[in-house]
Amino acid sequence: MSLLKTKNFISAHDVTDINALVAKALDYKANPFKDKTLGTGKRIGCLFLNPSMRTRLSTQIAAQNLGMEPIVFNVGSEGWKLEFEEEAIMSGSTSEHVKDAAPIMGQYFDILAIRTFPSLANKEDDYSELYVNQFIKYSGIPVLSLETATLHPLQSLTDVITIKETFKEKRKPKVVLTWAPHVKPLPQCVANSFSQWMNAWGEVDFVVTHPEDYELDPAFTGNATILHNQDEALKDADYVYVKNWSTYTDYAKIYNNDPSWMLTLDKLKHTNNARVMHCLPVRRNVELSDEVLDSPHSIVTREAGNRVWAAQAVLSELLGQLNS
Amino acid sequence: MSLLKTKNFISAHDVTDINALVAKALDYKANPFKDKTLGTGKRIGCLFLNPSMRTRLSTQIAAQNLGMEPIVFNVGSEGWKLEFEEEAIMSGSTSEHVKDAAPIMGQYFDILAIRTFPSLANKEDDYSELYVNQFIKYSGIPVLSLETATLHPLQSLTDVITIKETFKEKRKPKVVLTWAPHVKPLPQCVANSFSQWMNAWGEVDFVVTHPEDYELDPAFTGNATILHNQDEALKDADYVYVKNWSTYTDYAKIYNNDPSWMLTLDKLKHTNNARVMHCLPVRRNVELSDEVLDSPHSIVTREAGNRVWAAQAVLSELLGQLNS
Amino acid sequence: MSLLKTKNFISAHDVTDINALVAKALDYKANPFKDKTLGTGKRIGCLFLNPSMRTRLSTQIAAQNLGMEPIVFNVGSEGWKLEFEEEAIMSGSTSEHVKDAAPIMGQYFDILAIRTFPSLANKEDDYSELYVNQFIKYSGIPVLSLETATLHPLQSLTDVITIKETFKEKRKPKVVLTWAPHVKPLPQCVANSFSQWMNAWGEVDFVVTHPEDYELDPAFTGNATILHNQDEALKDADYVYVKNWSTYTDYAKIYNNDPSWMLTLDKLKHTNNARVMHCLPVRRNVELSDEVLDSPHSIVTREAGNRVWAAQAVLSELLGQLNS
């Protein structure tokens, strides 16, 4: 039975059973080539409208592990700028409309994987997921998100896998998502997505902490405990997920970039010997101190490694739908 | 028996029997993997001196369908600028001469596929096909054009395939190539190439229409009917091929960019319910109106999809020559 | 028995028996697919912090010949700028520290191939091979140099192969490395590396010639005869290896760019009908005259072609270590 409710993988809501998907991923981690012919003759097009390292490499590897042919295309540098606005008079800098490009991807590929960042200029467009929804609407084939304007589901699935894999006690772990300083305005998508998946998974006590003015969209944080006092939030934490984001309400601003929010070993003292997570890339000594990243608290390398198995589990489900 | 006269594929004149090549392409469309081991152990190097989306993806897919290993190399962004002028003193911005680069491609690959746009600065260089001819001369291996200064043969073969596939009547279809407005000076190659193939194929009534001053090189348009009145040209058309190009005579200028040449539904009324084609990317509401592209008249997605089968048929012929 | 002393391939000192490695490469040249399943299920990540043509293509082809999956990643254009300095406060232009990126490469790949040029700004960093050593330290997997700050071992192994393959007499050939003019300051790495390999191989009479002020690091030139008179150096040469480099002592400057150091046919008259080599890309009529490159003296195409077999021999050894 399919672990996906839809033919796409964009958010936690596309998954019927998160624990089963995690188990599938860990199964692939133990035996990467167990389904090495599942994707024979199937192609995945990986379109990057924005740069990527871990996401690109892990998706490419996951596809190859399943016997698929991944084709990577960097839209910006190898092709040209796409237009997303309906009825646009294309006399400006965009050379091709998604309405024309997406159906062709649907002719060339069996699955379309896309990374497309938010504009950070138009909140309505970003939060309506205009770009990826246009690809879904016009490509006619299953679409796998490699990070979109508001969500990063393969990262979040990876995060669930990593918590599941490392937490061995019988109780619910306390998981704290903490805002961290940065040098430029970043999307909210990793924070939104992590919140969405923690809530959908439901097997953790979930706390979000950030300075005032950095409230996330409640559609994602849901019933999480939200605190503006980082020390209070970190108390007894089993996992600390560190991430910067720019403001959501007054969109995409940096209001306060208080360096005291950088996670240090000292702050970890009040946790339950917490494991520290980050989606990477991380600005050392801005978001997280060297002493934390280089300590046994950090599980960021394991976390990044797990990206392969998250992608492989999801691709396997998408292939299963194609083959059925 | 080979369907190619030479070991290269650069123009319609390299083909012995266009209908047989079209039949071969449609055969691959029906059964993409029928020759999946034909290219085993053979490598195609795909060198892009200019950006590409459809051409790159369709060639890569066609090669994989035949069991070849395609290697894509973006000369500009991944490597360095090539020199093409004989006896150049290379103290400027070019880092490597085609005389040195091409023979090495000949060592590394079995087939060399190249995209190289015209300069739009030097008409003589462009129309002598300096760049691709240097690659042919110095690489020593079969060269497949992925669009050159004056021609785009895989696009044009695709166009023949698409007309053949969609026209079911016993008579010759009327095919009209119409100039369209654009925002910058474009090459003449798609228009040249389409004209050359329509003439070489010979199974259509072929009309070219454009504003005065946009005459194409008669070497390509041949005996086509040429009209400066678009409405007159479109009358009873079965196919309308829309494309902008810059001036040929006074080279690479935009003389007149009359927006009334944009193809609209209203203009299609006088056609024979014409199918509309375009090589893409298309500037919506500049070259072609949304209402046309989003109507059943448009077959641009089918056309772009057929790029795979055109490439696969030609690669199959080139492989056949290598293996014989 | 392994032909490598370590699990990495960075310099001539990593090789136990250069002649055996050369023989292995020539064996692959005669039969490219003889070990076509040796690398099944193994992945090589090819990270380019700098542009590459021959090195990238030859490594990719060599890996495929051995049945490996090569994944190419252009760090600069596809990803983001890496930080290499320990304890950096990353509030500037670098987005990710090698301490975080390298271990992830170690999770994704079985072998990591890296190209990383010198800064030409900080001699100490460059000559300590800071960048590649950080990748070795933090990735935890075998590292294959695709050219580093001070060395280019796959090029130099190729050069030994090419001399061995073309010199049929019973005596030692005289090999002259000559400086040539250029238009910008280049690394010393090809010259360093060629010197190191000629010395380590030991089967040639090795002479280095350059204008005063262009002394190379004696750690690489060793006991080579060093002459400032090019004509004297070229006398009776069997091989002339042409290469520009910037100054080493007063680091990375162009002191004198005397065009009379360009190699011409006239200068070759006093050689023993010498074969001329160059790693490419070459600035024609700046480093080497057209008349030399287009004459039978030149073996640069053969040399570049041999890059595949050098890479294949080394990858085969690295795979042998992984499998043992």
C274-310: pLDDT as tens digits = 999 999 999 999 999 999 999 999 999 999 999 999 9
Residue A3 lies in a domain: no
In chain A, which residues have their Cβ closer than 8 Å to the Cβ of B57?
45, 71, 73, 108
Alpha-carbon dihedral sign for residues A288, A291, A293, A299: negative
A284 contacts A202 by C-beta, under 8 angstroms: no
> What is the dihedral angle through the alpha carbons of C241, C244, C250, C255, rounded to the nearest 10 degrees?
120
User: Distances from the Cα of C250 to the Cαs of A223, B48, B165, C219, C229, in angstroms?
Assistant: 64, 40, 69, 16, 21
Residues A205 and A289 placed together within one structural domain of the fold? yes
Residues B283 and B181 placed together within one structural domain of the fold? yes
In chain B, which residues have their Cβ closer than 8 Å to the Cβ of C33?
41
Q: What is the mean pLDDT of residues A3-31?
A: 98
Residues C145 and C16 placed together within one structural domain of the fold? yes
Closest chain B residue to C55, measured at CA? B79
The alpha carbon of B103 is separated from its chain's Cα centroid by a whole number of angstroms, namely 25
> Which residues, listed in sequence order, are joined to residue B45 by a DSSP beta bridge?
B71, B112
A102 contacts A73 by C-beta, under 8 angstroms: no
Closest chain C residue to A307, measured at CA? C108
Q: Which of C51, C285, C301 sits opposite B90 (nearest CB)?
A: C285
pLDDT for position A80: 77
Residue A166 lies in a domain: yes
Asked if B101 and C293 come within 8 Å (Cβ–Cβ), the reply is no
In tens, the pLDDT along C220-255 reads 999 999 999 999 999 999 999 999 999 999 999 999
What tokens were used for A188? 């909210």
In chain B, which residues have their Cβ closer than 8 Å to the Cβ of C155?
none
Asked if A100 and B56 come within 8 Å (Cβ–Cβ), the reply is no
Residues B288 and B175 placed together within one structural domain of the fold? yes
Asked if B51 and A101 come within 8 Å (Cβ–Cβ), the reply is no
Residues A135 and A217 placed together within one structural domain of the fold? no
In chain A, which residues have their Cβ closer than 8 Å to the Cβ of C70?
none
CB-count exposure of residue A125 (10 Å: 0-12, 13-18, 19+): middle
Residue B5 lies in a domain: no
Chains in touch with C (3+ beta-carbon pairs under 8 Å) read: A, B
Q: Within 13 Å of residue A179, how many CA atoms lie on the same side as its CB?
A: 31
pLDDT for position B16: 98
Closest chain C residue to B102, measured at CA? C301
pLDDT for position A77: 72
* Range of the structural domain that residue A207 is part of: 155-304
In chain B, which residues have their Cβ closer than 8 Å to the Cβ of C52?
78-79
Residues A176 and A112 placed together within one structural domain of the fold? no
Residue A1 lies in a domain: no
B104 contacts B73 by C-beta, under 8 angstroms: no
Binding residues of C for N(2)-succinyl-L-ornithine: 147, 182, 243, 283
Closest chain A residue to C87, measured at CA? A290
B22 contacts B157 by C-beta, under 8 angstroms: yes
In chain B, which residues have their Cβ closer than 8 Å to the Cβ of C283?
90-91, 95
CB-count exposure of residue C316 (10 Å: 0-12, 13-18, 19+): buried
φ/ψ (deg, to 5) at A244: -90, 150
Question: Which residues of chain B are modeled with pLDDT < 50?
Answer: none
CB-count exposure of residue C67 (10 Å: 0-12, 13-18, 19+): middle
Mean predicted lDDT score pLDDT of chain B: 96
Residues B253 and B176 placed together within one structural domain of the fold? yes
Q: What is the mean pLDDT of residues A111-136?
A: 95
In chain C, which residues have their Cβ closer than 8 Å to the Cβ of A282?
96-97, 100
Q: Helix or strand or coil: residue B241?
A: strand
Residue A2 lies in a domain: no
Q: Helix or strand or coil: residue C143?
A: strand
Q: What does the alpha-carbon distance between residue A254 and residue C276 come to, in Å, rounded to a whole number?
A: 60
Please name the residues in contact with A289: beta carbons below 8 A apart, sequence gap of 6 or more: A262, A263, A264, A265
Q: What is the mean pLDDT of residues C24-49?
A: 97
* DSSP, residue by residue, B273-299: S-EEE--S---BTTTB-HHHHTSTTB-
> A124: left (phi > 0), else alpha (psi -120 to 50), else beta?
alpha
pLDDT for position A56: 96
A73 contacts A101 by C-beta, under 8 angstroms: no
Residue B6 lies in a domain: no
Interface probe, candidates C29, C48, C53, chain B, greatest B C-beta count within 10 A: C53
User: Distances from the Cα of B49 to the Cαs of A245, B119, C15, in angstroms?
Assistant: 39, 11, 38
Residue A89, domain CATH: 3.40.50.1370
- Cis bond leading into C281, ω under 30°? yes
In tens, the pLDDT along A200-217 reads 999 999 999 999 999 999
Residues A43 and A115 placed together within one structural domain of the fold? yes
pLDDT for position B14: 98
Residue C82 lies in a domain: yes
Of the pLDDT bands very low, low, confident and very high (cuts 50, 70, 90), residue C324 is confident
In tens, the pLDDT along A76-104 reads 777 778 999 999 999 999 999 999 999 99
Mean predicted lDDT score pLDDT of chain C: 96
Asked if C56 and B69 come within 8 Å (Cβ–Cβ), the reply is no
Number of domains present in the structure of chain C: 2
pLDDT for position A33: 97
pLDDT for position A283: 96
Please report, rounded to a whole number, the percentage of residues in chain A having pLDDT higher than 90: 95
* DSSP, residue by residue, B152-182: -HHHHHHHHHHHHHH--SSSPPEEEEEE---
Asked if C57 and B108 come within 8 Å (Cβ–Cβ), the reply is yes
Asked if C286 and B89 come within 8 Å (Cβ–Cβ), the reply is yes
Q: What does the alpha-carbon distance between residue C293 and residue B138 come to, in Å, rounded to a whole number?
A: 13
Chain C interface, Cβ < 8 Å to B: 33, 48, 51-54, 56-58, 60-61, 64, 74, 77, 183, 280-286, 290, 293-294, 300-301, 304-305, 308
Residue A259 lies in a domain: yes
> Which residues, listed in sequence order, are joined to residue C206 by a DSSP beta bridge?
C175
Residues B186 and B128 placed together within one structural domain of the fold? no
B236 contacts B174 by C-beta, under 8 angstroms: yes
Interface probe, candidates C31, C57, C309, chain B, greatest B C-beta count within 10 A: C57
In tens, the pLDDT along A145-186 reads 999 999 999 999 999 999 999 999 999 999 999 999 999 999
Residues A19 and A135 placed together within one structural domain of the fold? yes
**How many A-C residue pairs are in contact by the CB < 8 A criterion?**
78
- Cis bond leading into B211, ω under 30°? no
Q: Which of C78, C97, C100 sits opposite A74 (nearest CB)?
A: C78
Residues B172 and B122 placed together within one structural domain of the fold? no
Nearest Cα residue to A235 out of A264, A270, A263, A260: A270
Residues B205 and B121 placed together within one structural domain of the fold? no
The beta strands (E) that lie in chain C are given as: 43-48, 69-74, 82-83, 96-97, 111-115, 143-145, 174-179, 205-209, 225-227, 239-243, 275-277
